[in-house]
């Protein structure tokens, strides 16, 4: 009996080590808790983030241990990537946003249009009116397909009233990046310099790759598996993130 208990403990220990290895070096699951990336990521989406996409920093590991500085096997992110990063304010909280500005870029919103290095980001309206969540509020928004200079296309939404019309110019420092939520008027991102601001390269955790599961919490809890036929968003299962 004692030997069986010890064997079970060993099996559990090795399983945890394998899970930790996969989570730290390959893929980590994340849950979307807010509407800042709607319509592309919904509250209740569960996705895999690749940890190897940009190399490894201390933030690649649980609790961000200070075991080394800098980044190992580093690879530069691309404009338009959907990225999980640790917020500069506390180096602990995970955020997920879209990378818009690279080091040295200048960004500004003028008359509701986003300018990158003095050139307006191309956007084409694809939906005149759409309802989007913003916390407990419902926003009426216009939906656009935006195209970045490197050809990456994605959907972004702007509320019909009360949109952020004009901003100061943001200049991205060396070795830092500028992020925006796709739900432009319901996202705390790099526009808010005191809480998020410019994100250092070492704070990048990984690139969002695929939605492996999605459930609508308004219709029931994820743990109520007997309701999955109602709460699971089947059209989002194994959906690649753009």
Q: Is 24 a catalytic residue?
A: no
Quick count: other Cβ atoms within 10 Å of Cβ 239? Answer: 16
Per run of 10 residues, the mean pLDDT along the chain (length 242 residues) is: 67 68 82 94 95 94 88 96 95 96 96 93 84 84 94 93 82 98 94 94 97 87 78 93 91
Q: Is 53 a catalytic residue?
A: no
Indicate which residue of 34, 35, 36, 60 is catalytic.
36
The pLDDT assigned to 224 comes to 78
HEC secondary structure over the chain: CHHHHHHHHHHHHHHHHHHHHHHHHCEEEEECCCCCCCCCCCCCEEEEEECCECEECHHHCCCCCCCCCCCECCCCCCCCCEEEEECCCCCCCEEEEEEEECCCCEEEEECCEEEECCEECEEEEEEEEEEEEECCEEEEEEEEEEECCCCCEEEEEEECCCCCCCCCCEECCCCEEEEECCECCCCCCCCCCCCCCCEEHHHEEEEEEEEEEEECHHHCCCCCHHHHHHHECHHHCCEECC
The pLDDT assigned to 139 comes to 85
Question: Domains of the chain by range and CATH?
Answer: 2-240 (2.10.109.10)
- The pTM (predicted TM-score) of the whole model is 0.90
pLDDT tens profile 25-75: 789 999 999 999 999 999 999 999 999 999 999 999 888 888 888 999 999
Indicate which residue of 97, 187, 190, 214 is catalytic.
97
Torsion angle (degrees, nearest 10) of CA 18, 24, 29, 34:
150
């Amino acid at each position: 009996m004692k030997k069986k208990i010890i064997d079970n403990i060993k099996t559990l220990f090795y399983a945890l080590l394998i899970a930790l290895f996969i989570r730290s070096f390959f893929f980590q699951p994340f849950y979307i808790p807010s509407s800042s990336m709607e319509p592309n990521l919904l509250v209740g989406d569960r996705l895999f983030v690749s940890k190897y996409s940009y190399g490894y920093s201390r933030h690649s590991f649980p609790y961000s241990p200070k075991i080394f500085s800098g980044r190992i096997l580093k690879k530069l992110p691309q404009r338009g990537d959907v990225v999980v990063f640790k917020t500069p304010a506390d180096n602990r909280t995970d955020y997920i946003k879209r990378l818009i500005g690279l080091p040295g870029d200048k960004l500004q919103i003028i008359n509701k249009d986003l300018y990158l290095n003095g050139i307006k980001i191309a956007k084409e309206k694809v939906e005149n009116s759409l309802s989007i969540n913003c916390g407990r509020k419902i926003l009426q928004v216009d939906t656009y397909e935006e195209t970045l200079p490197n050809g990456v296309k994605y959907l972004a939404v702007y509320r019909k009233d009360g949109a952020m019309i004009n901003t100061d110019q943001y200049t991205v420092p060396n070795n830092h990046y500028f992020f925006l939520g796709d739900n432009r008027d319901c996202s705390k991102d790099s526009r808010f310099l005191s809480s998020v601001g410019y994100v250092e390269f070492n704070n990048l955790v990984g690139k969002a790759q695929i939605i492996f599961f999605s459930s609508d919490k308004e219709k029931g809890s994820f743990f109520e598996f007997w309701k999955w036929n109602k709460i699971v968003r089947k059209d989002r299962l194994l959906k690649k993130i753009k």
